[in-house]
Structure 1
Amino acid sequence: MNFDLIKTVVELVQQFMEQNESKAMYSNDIHGFTEWIKASCKNSPEPEEPYWIGKESGRSSDSIINTLLIRIGRYAKTYSRSIGNSVFSSQDDFIYLISLKNMGAMTKMELIRHNVQEKASGILIINRLIRNGWVEQTISEEDKRTKHIQITEKGLSVLEEHMEEIRKASRVVVGNLTHSEQMLLIAILSKLDEFHDSFYLMNLEARYLLDNVYKSLN
């Protein structure tokens, strides 16, 4: 249960009752509360622009966003090393397993692309998972030339065994963000992911890809 969210809602209800008691602008029910929330959001001042190191000397928001995303990724990678007492060689192991569990069987390239990795690195991860017996390669019933990768019972078992540790590491990465901040961050990161995914799937040379992405922004 998300007690932070419940606490926030209770505080908002208390503010609504106090303000509405003196001004009586809204009906004292859920409809009035909803209208008060909408009005409060409209009247809220624009958030102040955050400060970042180097801002005064001309460091752009693009630069700091890239740096922060890289740092958060490294924090997440560090926390994941403690999962399963090193049963996983890297966080990629359980990320690939989770992908297969949630999305079903995929070709090698579909799995690699879904996890936004280069072909050589992705093949190494998949081969390691096959050696461990956590995934297996099967021939497609529709097209005998196509091979699919799917998670095995052993893979499901090892994933389930360490899922609580994986969830704990995920909670640590989210840190002290409130529920509303988490929802906002999901929306922002999803928007970025959707934008870059369309270019990534073109499977072009890195320099050519970079030039095309840059042109699309201008």
Structure 2
Amino acid sequence: MKSYALIHQLLNLVEILEEENNGREISLQEFAGFLLNQVGGPLGEPANSDTRFGNEEMYAQSAAFQLDNSIGRLFVYMSRYAKSYIKKTLDGTALQSGEDFTALAILLTHEQLSKTELINYNLQEKASGMEVIRRLLAAGLIRQWDNPQDKREKYVGVTPAGRKLMYRVFVEIGDVSKVITGDLTTAEKVNLLYLLQKLDNFHYALHEKKAIVTKQDLKGLLDS
């Protein structure tokens, strides 16, 4: 087989990716993103091309355009673009925010969840998560009942009205997602998906462990 050397390289890359994921079985999609990231080559430091920045305070500009700071800033920008698009798409429905949509979407895939589980899966603080649940209950999109083993805990589940609404909204959210990914090529989308999934795996583990509660926790994470 003339391509033996290439196959050997691919097997080595699979081993590297498995090691990075602690031996977890990896999907073809994950490997495709990993492979694109491996062969893409370094892009170097980002250019100071954000037109929202002026010409004053060069030290502040230098700090803003450091690699990690640039990535963090662009994440903030992207979240605001996405939030704006999603809010416009949900206009005219009983869903008032992206958090309402994601909470209902998560709940749709479960027979039931406790309120605490739903808030945790939706990556929210307790107060804002309870407000989302109250809105969904008031709109008749979910229902709640007592946990028979613990009366202090409530279960929630999607109602027929909530399911009907979600399947209608899914189509429009799909269009929003295409706007969010902009003019990226398919290869770029696969690469971005791989990188974002890798970041989400890292941060969701911290979220589940409640590892970051204070500013000191953040500093401790960097020092470890």
Q: Distance in 1 between matches of 2:92 and 2:222?
A: 40
Secondary structure of 1:137 counterpart: strand
- Deviation of residue 212 (structure 1)? 3.3
1:7 maps to which residue?
Answer: none
Secondary structure of 2:46 counterpart: coil
1:207 and 2:215 aligned: yes
Which deviates further from its counterpart, 54-63 or 104-113?
A: 54-63
1:67 maps to which residue?
Answer: 73
2:82 maps to which residue?
Answer: 76
Gaps of 5+ in 2: 11-35, 51-60
Among 130, 139, 142, the alignment partner of 2:137 is 130
Secondary structure of 2:112 counterpart: coil
| Cα distance change, pair 44–65 in 1 and its aligned pair in 2 (3 A) | closer
Bigger relative CO (Cα 8 Å, ≥ 6 apart): 2
After superposition, what is the alpha-carbon deviation per residue over 1:6-37, rounded to whole angstroms, capped at 9, x for unaligned? xxxxxxxxxxxxxxxxxxx96xxxx79x87xx
After superposition, what is the alpha-carbon deviation per residue over 1:95-129, rounded to whole angstroms, capped at 9, x for unaligned? 11111112442111211111211111111001100
Which deviates further from its counterpart, 206-215 or 194-203?
A: 206-215
1:114 maps to which residue?
Answer: 121
| Cα distance change, pair 168–44 in 1 and its aligned pair in 2 (3 A) | closer
2:41 maps to which residue?
Answer: 46
Give the partner amino acid of 1:46.
G
- Deviation of residue 197 (structure 1)? 1.6
Which deviates further from its counterpart, 87-96 or 135-144?
A: 135-144
Which deviates further from its counterpart, 62-71 or 186-195?
A: 186-195
- Deviation of residue 195 (structure 1)? 1.2
| Cα distance change, pair 122–181 in 1 and its aligned pair in 2 (3 A) | same
1:180 and 2:187 aligned: yes
Check whether the contact 1:52–1:64 (CA below 8 A) recurs between aligned residues.
Answer: no
Check whether the contact 1:199–1:209 (CA below 8 A) recurs between aligned residues.
Answer: no
Q: Distance in 2 between matches of 1:123 and 1:143?
A: 19
Which deviates further from its counterpart, 104-113 or 49-58?
A: 49-58
Check whether the contact 2:145–2:156 (CA below 8 A) recurs between aligned residues.
Answer: yes
Give the partner amino acid of 1:53.
N
| Cα distance change, pair 189–53 in 1 and its aligned pair in 2 (3 A) | same
Query: What TM-score do you get using the length of structure 2 for normalisation?
Result: 0.70
2:102 maps to which residue?
Answer: 95
| Cα distance change, pair 143–45 in 1 and its aligned pair in 2 (3 A) | closer
- Deviation of residue 142 (structure 1)? 5.7
Q: Distance in 1 between matches of 2:39 and 2:127?
A: 50
Q: Distance in 1 between matches of 2:221 and 2:122?
A: 19
Check whether the contact 1:139–1:148 (CA below 8 A) recurs between aligned residues.
Answer: yes
- Deviation of residue 143 (structure 1)? 5.2
- Deviation of residue 73 (structure 1)? 0.4
Give the partner amino acid of 2:154.
K
Check whether the contact 1:80–1:91 (CA below 8 A) recurs between aligned residues.
Answer: yes
Give the partner amino acid of 1:196.
H
Which deviates further from its counterpart, 91-100 or 81-90?
A: 81-90
Identity, % of aligned pairs? 30
2:154 maps to which residue?
Answer: 147
- Deviation of residue 89 (structure 1)? 1.0
